[in-house]
Structure 1
Amino acid sequence: MSGFHQRFVGTTAFPKNLTDIDVGLCFRLSTDDVKAIKEKYKDRALGPAVLLVFLRASGRSLEKLTAVPYIVLKYLCAELDINERQIATLRSLYQRAATLTEHRKWVLEHAGLRDPAQKDLDELEAALRAILATTITADDLRKRAEVWLLEHHLLIPSERVVRSITHKASEAEVAVAIEVVHTKIPVPQLRNAISAVFGARKGRNGGTILEWLKEAPGKHGLKSLKEASQKITYLKALGVHDWDISAIGGDRIRAYARAVIHRPPSVTRLLAENTQALELSCFLRATLLEFTDNLFYIGGRQINRMIGHGRNRVQSTRAKSATEYAQRETQVRALLHSKNTTDRHKVEALQAMYPEDAPSNSLSGSAVVRDYLAGERLAMGAVLQAFNGIAIMGPDGDDALAQAQALRDVQQQGARELPEGFDASITSKVWHDLINGPDRKRALGALQASTAMAIHKGLRGGTLWIDHSWKHRNREDFLIPHDEWERDRKKLIGAMGLFSDPKLYLKRVRHNVDSGLQAVSEALKAGKLEINQERNVSLPRLSPQDIDLQVTRSRDAIFKIIGQERIENIVIEVDAKSNFSEALLGRRAKTVSELIALYGGIFAMGTENDAAGVAAMIPGVEVSHIAAAMRTLENAERVRQASERVLVFQMEHAIAALWGKGDKGSSDMMALDASNRLFNARVDPWRRTFAVGLYTHVLNSYGVFYDQPIVLNTRQAAAAVHGAHWYNTKQPTDRRLAWLAVDTHGYTNVAMATAKLCGFDLCPQLRNLSERKLMLLHGMELPENMERLNVKIVTEKSILEGWDQAMRVIASIHTGRVSPKDLLERLGSNASGSPVFKALDSLGRLLRTVFLCDYFANESFRREIHTLLNRGESVHQLQRSIYFGRIAPSRGRREDEMAAISGCHALLTNVVIAWNTHRMQEVVDRFAKDKHPIDDDWLAHMGPVHFSGINFRGTMDFTVTPYADALLDRVTRRRQAAG
């Protein structure tokens, strides 16, 4: 059940402001319902129909005095073929209480619902305790309980009973978490840690240790690296690295830690002893894990920065060498053609210019970079010093660990240069010349650089790991355990629709490759394609589609009728129709001020404004209220549920189906300007400004279905596959993505294979011709007219040898043990030597060949990919109009905060798209009613990303009263009415 369908679960009365979409999705009768009601009650069918549709939507019986909305009455009367009624309540429909009781009993039986027994309530409590691994608030838990009851065909009891069960489940789970803390952490050690973090921090900065630990990293420099190392050292001195509280669950640990972060230390100090111990232990553990990740991220940035400086030196060296070569050439030419010099003197002069024992300057660019890194001993030493405080683990005999140990041995001896006779075999061969060279100081620098780069690569590729880390844990911890995989292999592979025998799967892939090659061959014969001089397939440019001028005129006319509107009115209107604020709060807002503060928090997170700026735009709202709402929005799951509600509302309009059925999408990154004081900000190569990336997934119906912050200038394939897989796991089979269009940065061969095995196709619009080469297995033959094509061979052996482990990886994704993003980030180029990487990379090359054959031969397929990516770009234009400034230096440093910025930005984008869609539908329906329908082909070329008529800035006046019934808690509405 989607978040949009859950809006009415648990209510006891019809909302007043229902739409046709609400009725069609939540308050509808099936054909069997109509037949059963008409056969049973004939002319008294309206009452049972009202009871049935409300029961199915809410899970509760309808209150007797509640009025039935006219839109529901109109629909039910039309379905039952009876005279339409303008107004009705249960009192007017049932004069006799006995008749109402009898009808309610029949409706319960027909709907398949029953009152929950004590056994059912016990099962509910157990289910809620399992759900508590991902949610922690009482409001979230109550909603989950109501949905669980309805999905299990149980009547939802009174609110008091539900709250009692959720309270018991929450208390029981908290008690278990407290027991884990007291069992896994020695009591004296925990008390010492709690006492220490409340102590004053020495130095001129002042404050408590707890406040110091809550500070996020600043710029990605050596200072931030040193501070992260100091915090890790401090936490390890408290023994936090030995605290194994993983039984609490990663999400709950983060949630308890977030509570400490958002609360002043003085308030945390007043908590009950057990609660304080639980929250602080989770905070300290989460802080250690997070700063460990930050340390290696910043250290990696420093290594990459030095490599970049070395590459710049390569360019300058080559430029200098070219100048010297030109000057030397001029001298040689003048000497050779000199008439006043004998031949013997010319030879002697040339020998002086080119001595026999002169050193060779034929170093490659990589060698020049390594030579530069060897000279950066101080900077590389600072990185390694930060790494030294971390217990990095790996397999026995790992070269990176051997280098680290050798370097520690040298440093413990107090040597400032590498001793003669050092065993260089533990390092890569490319470093041997420097390590064995005569300059022993530079040799020590070479060992430092080799060690730092090996550790960085090992952690990125998963061959090395750290116990106290979120991202760099042992790769085995992400996957199904070996014994469980051996036991359930066939069952899991069968559930995924794959083959345990890779040869059978490759047989299918071979057939697809052969079919694709034949299609390309026919396109070559027809003259649609050609093979160029470089022996690659040459594609003709796509000709622009002819669009009737009337389409543009009709679109302009529609938006002229829609007119101008202010963003706050758009937000509140869409909220009334989708109730996204309920998803954000976990309940309906209790007061108008709470609702307005929530809207202000969305603007403070999703636009360039901060809390003070938004508070100045909304009269009567305090900065503290906005700041509190912003902390609420750091729950990424809630923000995503809210965005999903808006997306479903937008997609249920008839006009949206003309843009797409939601079975295809695209994904791309948008750079958001940021301060260089954010440690995860990088320079945008296009605009030469510091920025962070927001990666958004857009359906072919224009809505944003997933968003996530990413680091700029990194491969985006992991983010692309992750978002599509997440969406498919939330959708029924007929609404899942079939394929996802991406640009060149959004794919890798491993990602293409992972996406295919997860149930959808990754379709990249490849920019480079070198990436358009076809890959074939040994023994595969090209058609005659394609024999001169430049192809590469993929070995079947790598796929066969790594197939079992690849299936284990995919099964781990399907069972939710690991996300595609976490996995693919560790299966990048740094993992190129592992069997899993080889198998998925080789399979991805074959799948890319299948895709390329379709891409070459099918122009409509190529055009559709282009259209999807263009729609994503049009959504980016809307996003930039919403967030046109830059992220302030004080924001986005913590992962939760950056995710909230991305999520709220996507939510506002979906709100505007949904409002445009709704208003466009109203205008189109009005034209059709006036006998001037707009052709569907025209509407298919109009998008809902228009924003020129929307005022995103200025004073905001949220008028809640007209929508109070849809947005506020019922008790609040009653109090307002009484007042």
Structure 2
Amino acid sequence: MSGFHQRFIGSTAFPKTLTDIDLGLCFRLSKEDVDALKSRYRDNALGPAVLLVFLRASGRHLENLTLIPALLLKYLSAELQLRQTSIASLKSLYKRPATLTAHRQWILENLANLAPATAQNLDELGNALKALATTAVSVEDLVKRAELWLLDNQLLIPHERILRSIAARAFEAETAAALEVVRVKVTEAHAHRALKAVFSGRKGRTGGTQLEWLKEPPGKHGLHSLREASKKIAFLKELGVHDWDLSAIGGERIRAYARAVVHRPPSATRLLAETTQMLEVCCFLRATLLEFTDNAFYTAGRHLNRLIGQGRGRVQSLRAQTAMEYAQQEQRVRAVIHSNDKTDRQKVETLKEMYPSEKAPPNLSGSALVRDHLAGERFAVASVLSAFEGIEIEGPDDDPALQLVQALRDIKAQNLNELPADFPLPTTDRVWHDLLKGDDRKRALGALQASTALAIHKGLRGGRLWVAHSWKHRNREDFLIPKDQWDRDRNKLTSAMNAFSDPKLYLKRTRHACEIGLRALSEALDAGRLEIHESQHISFPRLSPQDIDMQVERARDAIFKIIGPERFEKILIEVDAKTNFSEVILGRKAKSTRELIALYGAMLAMGTENDVAGVAAMIPRVELSHIAAAMRLLENPERVRAANDRVLVFQMEHAIAAHWGNGEKGSSDMMSMDASNRLFNARVDPRRRTFAVGIYTHVLDSYGVFYDQPIVLNTRQAAAAIHGAHWYNTKSPVDRKLQWLAVDTHGYTSIAMATAKLSGFDLCPQLRNMAERKLVLLHGMKVPENMERLKIQYISEKSIVQGWDEAMRVMASIHTGRVTPRELLERLGSHAAGSPMFKSLENLGRLLRTVFLCDYFSNESFRREIHTSLNRGESVHQLQRAIYFGRISPSRGRREDEMVAISGCHALLTNVVIAWNTHRMQQVVDRFAKEKHPIEDDWIAHMGPVHFSGINFRGTMDFAVEEYVDALLERASRRRVVGA
């Protein structure tokens, strides 16, 4: 059940108004219900019908009979074949409380399939909430989960006071359990020492406490930030934080406790109870150590990449200089050969002197020149290595990278500034041997440092090395299902994934799909729709633009002219009244207009280029401190994503949305947002030549944004693409799963292709590079005669079979939620090449790419559908740029939680505009249909809900909450607003 379907759960009264979508999703009567009500109550069935539909939608009995939406009364009267009645007649029907009680009892026993919760049921609920409390961040979260648990178990939801009491006990029990973990794993003595240390003052010009210093987010990606991160890691390790095993608390709860400390002044933290201080500060210190360890590795990797980039930039100039030297040398050789004053013997002796036999020719390859550059940047590489000095990097005992680290430590212990001549070369990569054996021993030491830094970087990225105190670089075995459990439950887990334990059965099916695709490709070549290019690749014609009737454009313009201009704040309130996304973010309905407007202001401060002060200036009667407090709620990604889901489902439930798509297809792409260079994760956008960060969005074929995440520019996006699609399929109902996802070249890798297929959907890349379009087949497969000129690569079935078991273990770990696809795929890049599991997924992905390419080349409609999906994503990006047209300020986005909140709020504001446009377009289309001027379905399919020219996103914003008090505020607060 989606969040939108759940929005009435726990209510005790109807909202003042209902939409057709609310009626269709939450308050329908089945034919069996109608027959039962009519046979039991005859002409008095309307009252019980109202009680029934409300009970099913909310899980509670209706308490207020004076507020029943007219739309619902009209629908129920029509279904029961009764004259449309009024609320007064319902009130008169239930003048006697006994009648109301009897009707409720009969409905419970015969139609609603709900039973009152007994004391035993409430005890079971308490035990369930104790388990759920490990991932909850507040009591409100547990109250909502309790309501869902009761409905799933077909139980009536009791009074909110009872649920809140049970949830509070469960939350307190989880807090007590977390505190016990701290007492056991940290010990009270170490915790008190840590508290004393973090509240102590700092020496130096800046002053302040150690806690304030630790709370400072990382600065821009410079060596100063790297050194600062190393200092913080060293400080935390002195306190022994790296030895604290708080995994029993859970990552989300640790982050929640850490966020509480971050958002609170140190003086306020000191006023807390001693046990609360101990729990929250210890979790904060642990989370800070893990976060800064990841930041140190990331910044060190960026410096390595910068040095490599500088080396590549010098390659061209060095090659040009070398070419000039060779030209000069050639002239000298010619002068010797053609000299008339030397004998032949003298010429030979002169040439021998110019080209001595013991001197090897220089290596002029690009990689060799880059390595030579790195060897010369000895002090810059040493600065990068200093980030790794205080961190215990672990891995297999025979790993060369760890041996190199130990060798460098021994050299440093001996205070040597050059590499000893007897250094054992077998521990290093062979490509470095020439530099390590050179006469310049200082340069040889630089080469050793560079090879060590690169080996560590590749080992951590590929998963061969790990660090215990890290979020992202933990031991890969911690991410996967334990080996003994996998050996025991292999068949059950693969069956749950609809996968094959036997790889040969899967390859048999894939081989058959390849053969069908090759036949379709051969037929397209025979028909002349395709041709083989002289480069031995398939060449296909460009897609021609579709002819769109001018009447479609005129109809679209007429629709949006009728909709007219609107202010952004009005759109926010109107969509919130229909979806209650503010209730999801707050965990309850707002208690006052001030709280609600502050939340809207926080969304604007996070999701647009305005900062807190700018938003406070735009909204009258709201204080800056209230907006800042509301912004902390938005750093809970689960709540923002649940709010997004509500708006998305509301948009998709409109009838016209079905003309755009049914939610089974989507696309994903990155949008760069300008940012300050002071953000440590900002990179230069190669197109606009400005610093920026990436926001990766997933867009459905019906235009809604169903997932968003911040990523780093200029990195492969395949992990983010698979992650978002997998999340959507995990949360969506069975009849609305994503079938395929269109991406560009950056969102594709062979391993991602295989992971997507094994996760239940197809990755459909629009490939740019011709080399990526090469067909790959299994050995023994026959190619049609007219395709023999193609450049085809063959792989062995053995390369897939050997690593299949480990690949299935990886996929089962994703399927069971032990690891996210993004976490795992970021470990399976080129740095992980060489393992049997990597080869299995890589070759399977290349084989699946062949199946896809056969369809892509031979089926023009399929190719056009992929282009259309990607173009819809681009149109959504245009709307997103209209909402966020500036740049991220240096004061925001420096913490990962802030970047996630910026991305989530931006997507939420985008979906609000798309949902509002869809709703208004539906109203106009329905009006035209009633006036006997219906708009053709084909016309609607070419109109998108991303129109924004009539929306005013800026200026003074006056939130007229009074118009929607009933839908947006708690019942106790509505009377105060109306009275005011």
Q: TM-score range by the shorter chain?
A: over 0.9
The 1:676–1:414 alpha-carbon spacing in structure 2 relative to 1, beyond 3 Å, is same
Question: Residues 465 and 475 of structure 2 are in contact (CA less than 8 Å); yes or no, is this contact kept in structure 1?
Answer: yes
User: How far has the Cα of 1:617 moved from its partner?
Assistant: 0.5
Alpha-carbon RMSD across the aligned residues, in angstroms, is: 1.8
Residues 880/353 of structure 1: CA separation in 2 closer, same or farther (3 Å cut): farther
Contact 1:775 1:794 in 2 (8 A): yes
1:342-421 superposed matches below 5 A: 355-357=354-356, 360-421=361-422
Letter in 1 for 2:868: T
Alignment of 1:135-214 (within 5 A): 135-214=136-215
**Secondary structure of 1:7 counterpart:** coil
Report what 1:516 is aligned to: 517
Question: How many angstroms does 1:533 deviate by?
Answer: 1.0
Aligned match of 1:50 = 50
- Look up the equivalent residue of 1:971 and give its one-letter code: A
Contact 2:319 2:364 in 1 (8 A): no
- Taking the aligned partners of 2:858 and 2:726, their CA distance within structure 1 comes to 28
- CA shift digits 1:598-647 (9 cap, x unpaired): 00000000000100000000011111111111111100100001111110
Aligned length: 977
Query: Which residue matches 2:970?
Result: 969
- 1:820 and 1:89, CA in 2 relative to 1: closer, same or farther beyond 3 A? farther
Gaps of 5+ in 1: none
Q: Tell me, yes or no, if the aligned pair for 2:962 and 2:977 is still in contact at 8 Å.
A: no
Shift of 1:344: 6.3
Distance 2:182 2:495 in 1: 40
Retained in 2: the 8 A contact 1:891–1:897? yes
Given that 1:68 and 1:89 are in contact with CA atoms closer than 8 Å, whether structure 2 keeps it comes out as: no
SS of alignment partner, residue 246 of structure 1:
coil
Note if contact 2:962-2:978 (Cα within 8 Å) is conserved in structure 1. no
Deviation at 1:40, TM superposition (A): 2.0
Q: Write the deviation string for residues 557-602 of structure 1: whole angstroms up to 9, x where unpaired.
A: 1111111111111111111111110111111000000000000000
2-structure distance, mates of 1:572, 1:815: 38
SS at match of 1:155: coil
Contact 2:254 2:284 in 1 (8 A): yes
Q: Which residue of 1 aligns with 2:743?
A: 742
Structure 2 residue 92 is the aligned partner of structure 1 residue 92: yes
SS in structure 1 at match of 2:207: coil
Describe the shift of the 1:127–1:349 C-alpha distance in structure 2 as closer, same or farther (beyond 3 A). Answer: same
- Per-residue deviation, 1:455: 0.5
Report the Cα offset of residue 96 of structure 1.
3.3
- SS of 2:698's equivalent in the other structure is strand
Q: How does 1:664-703 map to 2 (within 5 A)?
A: 664-703=665-704
Residue 729 of structure 1, CA deviation = 0.5
For residue 285 of structure 2, what is the aligned residue in structure 1? Answer: 284
Equivalence for 2:13: 13
- Write out aligned runs for 1:183-262 (5 A): 183-262=184-263
* Number of the residue aligned with 2:845: 844
Q: Which residue of 1 aligns with 2:906?
A: 905
CA distance in 2, matches of 1:335, 1:473: 64
Conserved? CA contact 1:5–1:25, under 8 Å: yes
Distance in 2 of aligned mates of 1:202 and 1:126: 49
Aligned to 1:870: 871
What is the identity, as a one-letter code, of the residue corresponding to 2:366?
A: G
Alignment-derived partner of residue 759 in structure 2: 758
Whether contact under 8 Å (1:68, 1:88) holds in the other structure is no
Shift of 1:544: 1.0
In structure 2, give the amino acid aligned to 1:101.
T
TM-score, normalized by length of structure 1?
0.98
Retained in 2: the 8 A contact 1:667–1:869? yes
CA distance in 2, matches of 1:704, 1:682: 25
Which residue pairs with 1:480 in the alignment? 481
Distance 2:323 2:49 in 1: 87
> Is the Cα contact below 8 Å between 1:232 and 1:291 reproduced in 2?
yes
- Classify the secondary structure of the residue corresponding to 2:802: helix
Secondary structure in structure 2 of the residue aligned to 1:67: coil
Give the deviation of 1:98 after TM superposition.
2.6
- 1:794–1:845: 8 Å Cα contact kept in structure 2? no
Contact preservation (8 Å) 1:64, 1:91: no
Q: How many angstroms apart in 1 are the aligned matches of 2:979 and 2:315?
A: 78
Residues 284-339 of structure 1: CA distance to partner in whole angstroms, max 9, x if unpaired? 0000000000010001011111101111110211233344556667788899999x
- Structure 1 residues 373 and 88: CA distance shift in structure 2, 3 A: farther
Q: CA deviation at 1:969?
A: 0.8
Secondary structure, counterpart of 1:499 in structure 2: coil
Distance in 2 between the 1:928 and 1:579 partners? 29
The one-letter amino acid of 1:247's match is A
Distance 1:350 1:305 in 2: 46
- Give the structure 2 partner of residue 611 of structure 1: 612
Matched AA of 2:68: V
Residue deviations 1:517-552 (CA, integer Å, cap 9, x gap): 111011111111111111111111111111111111
What is the one-letter code of the residue matched to 1:915? W
For 1:221 and 1:721, locate their aligned partners in 2 and report how far apart those are by CA, in whole Å.
32
- Measured in 2, the distance between the counterparts of 1:847 and 1:573 equals 46
Contact kept, 8 Å, 1:67 with 1:89, in 2: the verdict is: no
In the alignment, what sits opposite 1:497? 498
SS at match of 1:942: coil
* Aligned residues of 2:65 and 2:87 also touching (Cα < 8 A): no
**Partner residue in 2 for 1:29:** 29
Q: Secondary structure at the match of 1:6?
A: coil
Contact 2:337 2:347 in 1 (8 A): no
Equivalence for 2:926:
925
* CA deviation after TM superposition for structure 1 residue 349, in Å: 12
Is residue 114 of structure 1 aligned with residue 104 of structure 2?
no
Moved more, 888-897 or 695-704: 888-897
Given that residues 558 and 920 in structure 1 are in contact (C-alpha distance below 8 angstroms), is that contact kept between their aligned partners in structure 2?
A: yes
The equivalences for 1:645-664 within 5 A come to 645-664=646-665
- The C-alpha deviation readout for 1:89-140, integer Å capped at 9, x for no partner, is 7423323333222211121121110111112111211221222222221212
| Consecutive unaligned residues in structure 2, runs of 5 or more | none
Contact 2:723/2:822 (8 A) holds in 1? yes
The aligned amino acid for 1:403 is: L
Shift in Å, 1:391: 0.5
Give CA deviations for 1:480-505 in whole Å, capped at 9, x if unaligned.
11111111111111111111111111
Compute the displacement of 1:807 (Å): 0.7
- Tell whether 2:828 aligns with 1:833: no
What corresponds to 1:719 in structure 2? 720
Deviations for 1:407-461, whole angstroms, at most 9, x for unmatched residues?
Answer: 1111111111000121110111000111111111111111100000000000000
User: What is the 5 A alignment of 1:746-895?
Assistant: 746-895=747-896
1:506 and 2:507 matched: yes
Q: Which residue identity does 1:929 align to in structure 2?
A: K
Q: Residue 588 in 1 paired to residue 589 in 2?
A: yes
SS of 1:95's partner is coil
CA contact (8 A) 1:775 1:793 kept: yes
| Mapped partners of 1:71, 1:394: distance in 2 | 66
- Contact map agreement 2:655 2:922 (CA 8 A) in 1: yes
Q: Secondary structure at the match of 1:781?
A: coil
- Contact 1:335–1:346 (Cα < 8 Å) also in 2: no
Query: Does the Cα contact within 8 Å between 1:69 and 1:87 map onto a contact in 2?
Result: no
How far apart in 2 are the matches of 1:663 and 1:400?
Answer: 46
d(CA) in 2 for partners of 1:343 and 1:935? 94
- Residue 298 of structure 1 aligns with which residue? 299
User: Which whole-Å CA distance do the structure 1 matches of 2:122 and 2:316 have between them?
Assistant: 71
The CA deviation at 1:377 is 1.0
Q: Is the 8 A contact 2:669 2:743 kept in 1?
A: yes
Counterpart amino acid of residue 12 in structure 2: T
Secondary structure at the residue paired with 1:742?
Answer: strand
CA distance in 2 between counterparts of 1:385 and 1:485 reads 39
- For residues 460-475 of structure 1, the aligned pairs below 5 Å read 460-475=461-476
Instruction: Kindly indicate whether the alpha-carbon contact (under 8 Å) linking 1:696 and 1:704 is maintained by their aligned counterparts in 2.
Output: yes
